[in-house]
Amino acid sequence: MLHRKKKEKAIESTLLMVSGVTVVALFLLCFFLFREGFLLFGDHSIISFITGSSWYPSSSPAKFGLLPLLTGSLIVTAGAILLSVPLGIASAVYISELADPKVAQLIKPFVEILAGIPSVVYGFFGLVIVVPLLQDLLDLPTGQTALAGSIMLGMMALPTIISVSEDAINSVPAALKEGSLALGSTKWQTIYRVVLPAALSGISAAVMLGIGRAIGETMTVMMVTGNTAIIPGIPEGLFDPVRTMTATIALEMGEVPQGSEHFHALFAVGSVLFLITFIINLIADSVKKKYRLQEGV
């Protein structure tokens, strides 16, 4: 008995230590990221960085305006979510509620394969297939546009949205569905009036995870969006080349001298990206808690 207690205590201590290492690593990462980014603001104001409309690190004086990169990231992410959320939720509903079990078991592995494809492969597919197709169909000067990035990121976000939404729909108690059908509701009425509202917490989390996947993607958008640091119009900016925050960091970090203004500017961009992702996670968590309270969970 005493030996078992010692063993359990050792396991608890190990798990506590692992959790502590994770928290410490996160704090060290945040400290390093924000410290390097904050050094930019010795010579540049935060306001001019956030509202600046030009990103020209090689000009004299250098211009580090976040606005073209931020708007580029937002328009590509918004387009991706508009494409992936309806398709993802519809696919999850079909797999969970409508498909024959054999068909559902056939579809699920393909969804998992989509999630495992490297981003560079998506980027290569977009560059070779999607970009020329958009250029020809829409008669554009170049197919490397925000729309191409949105299409590819939408494809990449689909597996996450489908998988999490399907789990949420499957977790709805069968008694709710059976009660709705017993009261005379049709299959479709049960789905959109009972199943989807009951699974809304998990579906909201799926959407937020999809947004996080889209806004943090680097390689694919770097290959298909044209990488032009201009402020895109809305919605016509979908058909223009743009540059995202992640692509800017990936393209320029390997070329800048360590400790230079440009170096610190890229860390400042990374800090903003971190804060956006953090806020998205907070919103997802609050939405989940809100709907759980409404459902009495």
Q: How many residues does the chain have?
A: 297
The pLDDT of residue 277 is 86
Inter-residue contact 153 to 242 (CB < 8 Å): no
Task: In whole angstroms, give the CA distance from residue 242 to residue 126.
Answer: 15
Per-residue pLDDT at 111 exceeds 90: no
- CB contact set of 133 (below 8 Å; sequence gap of 6+): 143
Average pLDDT over residues 44-48: 85
Q: What is the pLDDT of residues 131-183, one digit of tens each?
A: 999 999 988 888 899 999 999 999 999 998 998 898 888 888 888 888 888 88
CA 149, CA 247: separation in Å to the nearest integer? 11
- pLDDT, position 113: 87
Helix (H, G, I), strand (E, B) or coil at 263: helix
Higher pLDDT, 9 or 129: 129
Contact 287, 201 (CB under 8 A): yes
DSSP string across 104-148: HHHHHHHHHHHHHS-HHHHHHHIIIIIHHHHHHHHT-S-S-SHHH
**E strand segments, the chain:** 55-56, 63-64
Amino acid letter, 215: I
Kind of pairing between the strands at 63-64 and 55-56: antiparallel
**Res 82 pLDDT > 80:** yes
Residue 295 has pLDDT above 60, yes or no: no
Looking at the DSSP assignment, which residues form a beta bridge with residue 63?
Answer: 56
Cα-trace Rg, the chain = 23
218 touches 227 (CB < 8 A): no
- The token pair at 11 is 């396991």
Q: Please state, for a pLDDT cut of 70, what percent of the chain lies above it.
A: 96
What is the C-alpha to C-alpha distance for residues 293 and 285, in angstroms, rounded to an integer?
12
Per DSSP, which regions of 15-136 are E strands? Answer: 55-56, 63-64
Whether 120 has a pLDDT exceeding 70, the answer reads: yes
At 196, the pLDDT band (50, 70, 90 cuts) reads: confident
**Side chain identity at residue 226, one-letter code:** G
Mean pLDDT of 221-247: 86
Confidence of residue 297 (pLDDT cuts 50, 70, 90): very low
C-alpha separations of 237 from 145, 162, 293 in Å: 8, 28, 40
For the segment 202-225, what is each residue's pLDDT rounded down to a tens digit?
Answer: 888 888 888 888 888 888 999 999
Query: How far apart are the C-alpha atoms of 34 and 15, rounded to whole Å?
Result: 29
**Reported confidence tier of residue 1, pLDDT bands at 50, 70, 90:** low
The whole-model pTM stands at 0.85
- 50 pLDDT band (50/70/90 cuts)? confident
Instruction: Using pLDDT thresholds of 50, 70 and 90, give the confidence band for residue 116.
Output: confident
Residue position matching structure tokens 């005493």: 2
d(CA 160, CA 149): 18
Measured in whole angstroms, the distance separating CA 226 from the mean position of its chain's CA atoms is 20
pLDDT in tens, 8-43: 888 888 888 988 898 899 899 889 899 998 888 887
Q: Per-residue pLDDT averaged across 118-122, rounded?
A: 90
Buried b (16+ CB within 10 A) or exposed e, 28-53: eeeeebbebbebbeeebeeeebeebe
Q: Is the pLDDT of residue 256 over 90?
A: no
